[in-house]
Amino acid sequence: MKRPFLKGMMMAAIALPALTGAAWAGGSDDLGCSDATLQGDYAFSVVDLTTQTVVIGLGTFDGKGGFAQIDYPGDRLRTDGTLDFRMGQTGSYTVDRNCTGNMEINLGGGVGVVTNAFVISNGGRSIHAVVAGVTVGGKAVANQTRVDFWKVASEQEDWQ
């Protein structure tokens, strides 16, 4: 009589963690994110493994799907002779309820268009992205690029 009970308990002990892990691995379709999750200024850094280029910048999300940024390519002093940031870069973004999204940025001046796929973390304070596509002169360019964004805010703003 004790054997079936123990066997049942043992099976439940094995199955329960597996079920919870499977449910967790699937993630949630609704984490409550929207375009409004991204609002304000974000510092960012880019590491392009294809061209061995680095870029830093500041991007502004308007909370409604609009985006603008300035950036500085790591070798700009050598190539352009300036420490000035590139200006006038604009784009758009969309955020899904599961806190994933995508954005398109026109780098201006004929430099090209970049499309990113991203995930939002830390309640919108961080964004982790990969460049899903780069188009220069209407042609796709191969890339392996990582981008990370961090919310620019004072400690006081973070605690509110």
pLDDT band with cut points at 50, 70 and 90 for residue 14? very low
pLDDT band with cut points at 50, 70 and 90 for residue 3? low
In this prediction, residues 118-134 reach a mean pLDDT of: 94
pLDDT tens across 41-83, in order?
999 999 998 888 899 999 999 999 999 999 999 989 999 999 9
| pLDDT for position 4 | 56
Domain ranges of the chain: 35-152
Check whether 26 has a pLDDT greater than 70: no
Q: Percent of the chain beyond pLDDT 70?
A: 78
Instruction: Choose between 14 and 140: higher pLDDT.
Output: 140
Check whether 142 has a pLDDT greater than 60: yes
| pLDDT for position 110 | 82
pLDDT tens across 79-104, in order?
999 999 999 999 999 999 999 999 99
Question: What superfamily does domain 35-152 belong to in CATH?
Answer: Calycin beta-barrel core domain (2.40.128.20)
Instruction: Choose between 29 and 134: higher pLDDT.
Output: 134
Other CB atoms within a 10 A radius of the CB of residue 148 amount to: 15
User: What letters, b where the CB count within 10 A reaches 16 and e where it falls short, cover 130-139?
Assistant: ebebbeeeee
Query: What tokens appear for 155 in the block?
Result: 């400690």
Q: 146 with 46: CB under 8 angstroms?
A: yes
